[in-house]
Structure 1
Amino acid sequence: MAFSKCFCPSTVHSGQYFEGFTSSIRDVLRTKDFQSRESVEKTPEEAKMQIEKENEVKTLEDKVEEEEGVTALWDPDLCDGLHACVHHRQSQLLCAPICTVYRFQSEDKRWLTVREVMSETPLTFSLPRQLLSVLVCEHATRIQEMKELGELPPQWECLRCDVIKHCNHLIGSYQETLVELDRLSASCCLKSSNSKCDKYLQFVPTNLHSQRMEVITSDNISECYEVITFGAPADHHQSFRRGGLSRLVAKTADRAESSMDYSPQELSRVTELLSSLMMLQPLLFGLAEELLSVSLELNTDRLLEVMDSFKQQTELFVHTLNDELVKRALLEIHKTPAPDHSHVSHDITTSSQDSMWANVVRSLHCITIMSNRLVAREDPVQQMTSANGGPNSGRASSSWQELLLPLVVTFRDCVREALGEVRTAVMFVLLQRSLPSNAPHGFPELLQRRHAVFSQALSAAVCGITLKLHRALNQPGFLQQLQTVGLLVQFQGLLSNYGEEAAILEDMEVGVADLRDVTFTLIEAKTEEPEDLLPTLSGMWGSLVVQVPVLSDTFVLLPWELKAGSMIQIHPVFFNIGIGLWNQCQSVTDRNGNTSLQERINLQSCQHLRSYCNSLRDELPNIGGSRSLLDLLDSLECSVESQSRKSGDILRLSAMVCHAVNGVRLTSCKSAEDRTAMSLTLEQCTLLQEFHMLGQHHFNIALDCMRRSRLSWGQMLGCYTRFWLPVCMEGAGDDPTALRRSSCHLYPVAILLVTSHLLVLWLILSLVLLLAQYQ
Structure 2
Amino acid sequence: MGEIEDGEVDHIAADARGQKCTLVCESLHGTSNDKDGNPLMNAVFKNPVCKVYRFQTVDCKWMLVREQMAECTLSFNIPKQLITLYIQEDMRRIQELKDLGELSPHWDNLRKEVIAHYGQVISSYQETLTELNKLTGSSFKPSCSKSEKYLEFIPINLHTQRMQVTCPKKTDACYDVVTVGAPAAHFQGFKNGGLQRLLSRFESEKKNFSTAYQCIYYSPENTAKAKEVLSSIGQLQPLISSLADQLMQAAQQHSPDLLKGALKTLSDKTEQFVHALKDELVKNALLALHTARPGYVTKSQPGVCNNVDGKEARPKEDGPAPLKRQDSIPHHSEYDEEEVWANVAKSLNCIIAMVDRLQEHENNNQEPASDQTLADVITSHSPGDWQEQIYPLVVTLKDCVTEVVDRATKSMTFVLLQEAACSIPQGLFLKQRRDVVFSQAVSNYHNSPHNLLLIQLVTRVQFTFKTIKAIFPHRWSGFNLTAAG
- Structures share fold, TM-score greater than 0.5: yes
Q: Separation in 2 of the partners of 1:329 and 1:219? A: 66
Q: SS of the counterpart of 1:103?
A: strand
Equivalent residue, structure 2, for 1:128: 79
Q: Separation in 2 of the partners of 1:419 and 1:50? A: 68
Is 1:321 the counterpart of 2:274? The answer is yes
Q: Deviations over 1:166-203 (max 9, x none)?
A: 2221221111111111112x122111211111110101
Q: Separation in 1 of the partners of 2:404 and 2:424? A: 34
1:273 counterpart letter in structure 2: I
Equivalent residue, structure 1, for 2:316: none
1:227 counterpart letter in structure 2: V
Displacement of 1:517: 7.1
Q: SS of the counterpart of 1:428?
A: helix
Q: Separation in 2 of the partners of 1:413 and 1:53? A: 74
Q: Separation in 2 of the partners of 1:152 and 1:453? A: 35
Q: SS of the counterpart of 1:226?
A: strand
Q: Separation in 2 of the partners of 1:190 and 1:544? A: 24
Q: 1:201 aligns with which of 133, 137, 151?
A: 151
1:619-698 equivalences under 5 Å are none
Q: 2:440 aligns with which of 434, 438, 456?
A: 456
Displacement of 1:238: 0.6
Q: 1:428 aligns with which of 394, 402, 414?
A: 414
Residue 174 to residue 328, structure 1, CA distance change in 2 (3 Å):
same
Equivalent residue, structure 2, for 1:97: 48
Q: Separation in 2 of the partners of 1:44 and 1:413? A: 81
2:438 counterpart letter in structure 1: F
Displacement of 1:237: 0.7
Q: SS of the counterpart of 1:232?
A: coil
Q: Deviations over 1:386-421 (max 9, x none)?
A: xxxxxxxxxxxxxxxxxxxxx999999987875664
* Conserved 8 A contact 2:236-2:269: no
Equivalent residue, structure 2, for 1:404: none
Q: SS of the counterpart of 1:99?
A: strand
- Which entry has the higher C-alpha Rg, 1 or 2? 1
Residue 129 to residue 207, structure 1, CA distance change in 2 (3 Å):
same
Residue 144 to residue 111, structure 1, CA distance change in 2 (3 Å):
same
Q: SS of the counterpart of 2:69?
A: strand
Q: Separation in 2 of the partners of 1:515 and 1:53? A: 45
Q: Separation in 2 of the partners of 1:568 and 1:413? A: 29
Q: Separation in 2 of the partners of 1:245 and 1:515? A: 12
Q: Separation in 2 of the partners of 1:155 and 1:120? A: 52
Q: SS of the counterpart of 2:471?
A: strand
1:443 counterpart letter in structure 2: G
* Conserved 8 A contact 2:195-2:434: yes
Q: Deviations over 1:70-92 (max 9, x none)?
A: xxxxxxxx9xx978259932232
2:82 counterpart letter in structure 1: L
1:583-602 equivalences under 5 Å are none
Residue 121 to residue 265, structure 1, CA distance change in 2 (3 Å):
farther
2:186 counterpart letter in structure 1: H
Q: Separation in 2 of the partners of 1:127 and 1:491? A: 16
Q: Separation in 1 of the partners of 2:98 and 2:413? A: 11
Displacement of 1:243: 1.0
Q: Separation in 2 of the partners of 1:439 and 1:140? A: 18
Q: 1:490 aligns with which of 423, 439, 453?
A: 453
Which one scores higher on RCO, CA 8 angstroms, separation ≥ 6?
Answer: 2
Q: Separation in 2 of the partners of 1:516 and 1:442? A: 18
Is 1:48 the counterpart of 2:34? The answer is no
Displacement of 1:452: 0.9
Q: SS of the counterpart of 1:214?
A: strand
Equivalent residue, structure 1, for 2:221: 261
Q: 1:251 aligns with which of 183, 190, 201?
A: 201
* Conserved 8 A contact 2:53-2:65: yes
Q: Separation in 2 of the partners of 1:451 and 1:172? A: 15
Q: Separation in 1 of the partners of 2:397 and 2:165? A: 73
Equivalent residue, structure 1, for 2:175: 225
Displacement of 1:127: 1.4
Q: SS of the counterpart of 2:421?
A: coil
* Conserved 8 A contact 1:115-1:214: yes
* Conserved 8 A contact 2:468-2:476: no
1:165 counterpart letter in structure 2: A
* Conserved 8 A contact 1:103-1:111: yes
Structure 1 residue runs without a partner (length 5+): 1-42, 56-77, 288-300, 377-406, 466-486, 493-508, 519-538, 548-566, 575-596, 602-668, 671-775
Q: 1:235 aligns with which of 185, 193, 197?
A: 185
1:88 counterpart letter in structure 2: G
Is 1:330 the counterpart of 2:283? The answer is yes
Q: 1:545 aligns with which of 468, 471, 474?
A: 471
Displacement of 1:274: 4.9
Q: SS of the counterpart of 2:178?
A: strand
**Identical counterparts, % of pairs:** 31
Q: Separation in 2 of the partners of 1:357 and 1:230? A: 50
Displacement of 1:540: 3.3
1:222 counterpart letter in structure 2: D
1:568-607 equivalences under 5 Å are none
Q: Separation in 2 of the partners of 1:227 and 1:162? A: 47
* Conserved 8 A contact 1:124-1:204: yes
Residue 413 to residue 133, structure 1, CA distance change in 2 (3 Å):
closer
Higher mean C-alpha displacement, 318-327 vs 239-248: 318-327
Displacement of 1:222: 1.6
* Conserved 8 A contact 2:31-2:48: no
Q: Separation in 1 of the partners of 2:433 and 2:443? A: 16
Displacement of 1:264: 5.9
Equivalent residue, structure 2, for 1:212: 162
Residue 272 to residue 163, structure 1, CA distance change in 2 (3 Å):
farther
Equivalent residue, structure 1, for 2:308: none
Is 1:273 the counterpart of 2:237? The answer is no
Give the TM-score, by structure 2 length: 0.62
Q: Separation in 2 of the partners of 1:346 and 1:172? A: 41
Q: Separation in 2 of the partners of 1:344 and 1:513? A: 32
Displacement of 1:235: 0.7
Equivalent residue, structure 1, for 2:388: none
1:213 counterpart letter in structure 2: M
Q: Separation in 2 of the partners of 1:363 and 1:44? A: 83
Displacement of 1:150: 2.5
Q: Deviations over 1:602-658 (max 9, x none)?
A: xxxxxxxxxxxxxxxxxxxxxxxxxxxxxxxxxxxxxxxxxxxxxxxxxxxxxxxxx
Is 1:113 the counterpart of 2:73? The answer is no
Equivalent residue, structure 2, for 1:88: 37
Displacement of 1:546: 3.6
Higher mean C-alpha displacement, 123-132 vs 96-105: 96-105
Q: Is the helix fraction higher in 1 or 2?
A: 1
1:188 counterpart letter in structure 2: S
Q: Separation in 2 of the partners of 1:147 and 1:568? A: 29
1:49 counterpart letter in structure 2: K
Q: What is the total number of aligned residue pairs between the two structures?
A: 396
Residue 118 to residue 362, structure 1, CA distance change in 2 (3 Å):
closer
Q: Deviations over 1:319-341 (max 9, x none)?
A: 52332575422224546875445
Is 1:443 the counterpart of 2:427? The answer is yes
Q: Deviations over 1:31-84 (max 9, x none)?
A: xxxxxxxxxxxx9564612414648xxxxxxxxxxxxxxxxxxxxxx9xx9782
Residue 444 to residue 424, structure 1, CA distance change in 2 (3 Å):
same
Displacement of 1:128: 1.2
Q: Separation in 2 of the partners of 1:247 and 1:125? A: 28
Displacement of 1:450: 1.0
Q: Separation in 2 of the partners of 1:117 and 1:194? A: 23
Q: SS of the counterpart of 1:225?
A: strand
2:123 counterpart letter in structure 1: G
1:23-422 equivalences under 5 Å are 46=17, 48-52=19-23, 54=25, 84-85=33-34, 88-89=37-38, 90-105=41-56, 111-184=62-135, 186-219=136-169, 221-254=171-204, 255=206, 258=218, 260-262=220-222, 267-274=227-234, 276-277=236-237, 317=270, 320-323=273-276, 326-334=279-287, 339-340=303-304, 344-345=329-330, 348=333, 355-358=339-342, 361=345, 421-422=407-408
Q: Separation in 2 of the partners of 1:87 and 1:366? A: 59
Displacement of 1:205: 1.2
